[in-house]
Every structure is written in structure tokens, then in C-alpha cells.
Amino acid sequence: MSEGEAALGFVGLGAMGGPIAGHLLARHGSLAVFDVRAEAVRPLADAGATACGSPADVAGAARTVFMSLPDPAAIPAVVEELLQGARIHTVVDLSTTGPQIAAQIRAALSHRGVGYLDAPVSGGPSGAAAGRLSVMAAGAPEVFDEVAPLLDAFAATVVRVGDVPGQGQVAKVLNNLMSATAIAITSEVMALGVKAGLDPERLLMAINSGSGRNTASADKFPKYVLPRTFDMGFRLRLMTKDVKLCLEEAARQKVPMILGGTVEQLWTLAAACTAEGADCTEIARMLEGWAGVTIGAIADHDGLRVLGLTGSCHRPIFTGGTQ
């Protein structure tokens, strides 16, 4: 890369970052990349990207650096490394960090005169692979105008939700709380329906023809739960993290979230009951275990044994009303 080239950089090449970086490379022809895992860097390097040894090296090669990282706690340290790069001009964070981490990033970058676009994405690994993500962006108008053309490489929709970095994070965690709620309630509904003798496929057809239709009933359950693949590509623990970030912001803003708090408890329990890398759709397994049913073609098995749940995953105790 020549010194005058307005190169792009990318840090974090996981399930979301890898495909997004691939789209940027294909569209713009040059990309400096870093990930702690060599196996994540290799495909992009083979496609023509420049492999770097650290975030600082990426920021030494690129004026605009994208980040896509799963662990919010690690991001401030990555930002400090980026600030060691000689060319860094703008940072675009595609991660879901929550508004408090975004505020830390904003302070660090503004102190050094580096632009910051808070731009979390929605659409999952399939949306990243297809280049059809939704971006919830927040940042100064001049920073957004500079970065917006780059987002077209991997986004179908870009909504600028505010001027202040961190507002994008608020929009994203609110979105994910709603998504998590849809998955959870659909799991409960489907478990009850199967327990009552309904065919799960026909029940989904009925729901998706009525007012109860949601993203879980229309997409996640037909694709990943009924076929028993549980491979949507978004880890259950990451969904739990995002729900917690939303409830933390609610507490900070002193906004009561009664239903949201219950959803948080449900996902926290599911995270304790499933394997480390479990897919977010596997929360349905916990509800199946409680009901003693299987939402899918598998029949004549004991629910808990087939579901392979780990840890302590107790069925709720009802103390009043009907069961």
C-alpha cells in the first residue's frame, strides 16, 4: 500500500467481521486486517488483504478502520492500540458494545482528534455473508457522510439514528432485546402447543398467518428449530450479553422494564444450561425440557436426555394460578 492510498482496515474477523471484511475488500480492492486467530486472517490474505500483526499496524496502514469484536470489555484496549497507528483518521465500530463502552471510545478518540462512527449491525452471519445487513449508525454528520459510502459494501439498510456515538448502541440493544423476546416467547408457545398435541409445523403456519407472527416464528423456528440444526450462527451467550446491556441502560436511564427483566432472567438461565458455543436458537431446548416435549420431528425420547442440557436447568415452580 502506498503512503498516499486511503486504505481501509479491519480488526476482528469472526462470524460477522470476516464476511464484512470480505465485502469491503471485494469492493475497494485493498484492506489491512488483523485478528488474534491466524486461521481467520488467512482467507482474506489469500484474497489480497494485507495481514497485520496488531491493531496498531492496521492503523498504521489505514485511515479508516472498522472493528467487529464480540467482547465489549476488550474494545477500549483495541482502541488504544489503534491510536498508536500513524494514519488513523476514523474508527467505525460495528460491534455491539453497549452505550457505556461507546462513551469510553468516544472520549478516547475525540481526545486524539479521531472521528468515530458508532455503527452496530443487525442481520446475523447470513446477512453478513449476503451483504444485506442493517446498520444503526450514530455520529457527527461529517463522519457519517465520510463513512456512509463504505457501508454500502455490506449493508442493505443504513439508518442514522443520532449525532452522538452511543446512540447507535442504544438502538441495537433495544433491537436485540426485542429479538430475544420473540425467540423466548415463541419457544414457550411452541412447547405448549406441542404438549397440547399440535403439529409444530402447522402451528407455525397458523401463527405466521395471524397477528402473532414475529421474526422467530417466521424465520428462526422453521429454519433452525424444527429441523433440529440449531445453527443460526449467533451464539446464545452473545444474545444474553446484549440483553444484559439493554437492561443496564434501562437502569441507568431509570426506565422500568418489567417484561425485559423477565426476558433477561430467562436468557441468563439458558446461558447457564447450555454449552459454551450454543446457538441462540437453543434456548428452545430449555423450554422443551421443561415441557417434556420436542419441537420438531424427533419423537419418543425423553426431553432432557435428547436435548443434552448441561448445568443446573430446573423447571420453574408455579405457586399460583393455572399451569
Give the pLDDT confidence of 155-201 residue by residue, as tens digits.
999 999 999 999 999 999 999 999 999 999 999 999 999 999 999 99
- Residue 320, pLDDT score: 41
Q: At what angle do helices 283-291 and 258-273 cross, to 10 degrees?
A: 90
Q: What is the domain class of 170-307 according to CATH?
A: mainly alpha
Q: Where in the chain is the domain with CATH 1.10.1040.10?
A: 170-307
- Residue 278, pLDDT score: 97
Look up the pTM and report it. Answer: 0.88
Cα angle, residue 81 at apex, residues 76 and 83 outer, rounded to 5°: 95
Which residue in 172, 241, 244, 254 is the catalytic one?
Answer: 172
The domain 8-164: what is its CATH number?
3.40.50.720
- Residue 6, pLDDT score: 43
Q: What is the DSSP letter of 234?
A: S
- Reply yes or no on whether 223 is catalytic: no
- Residue 316, pLDDT score: 62
Q: Where in the chain is the domain with CATH 3.40.50.720?
A: 8-164
Integer Cα distance of 185 and 304 in angstroms? 20
CB 91 within 8 A of CB 106: no
Structure confidence at residue 240 as a pLDDT band (50, 70, 90): very high
pLDDT digits (tens, 9 = 90+) for 298-319: 444 344 333 333 334 656 644 4
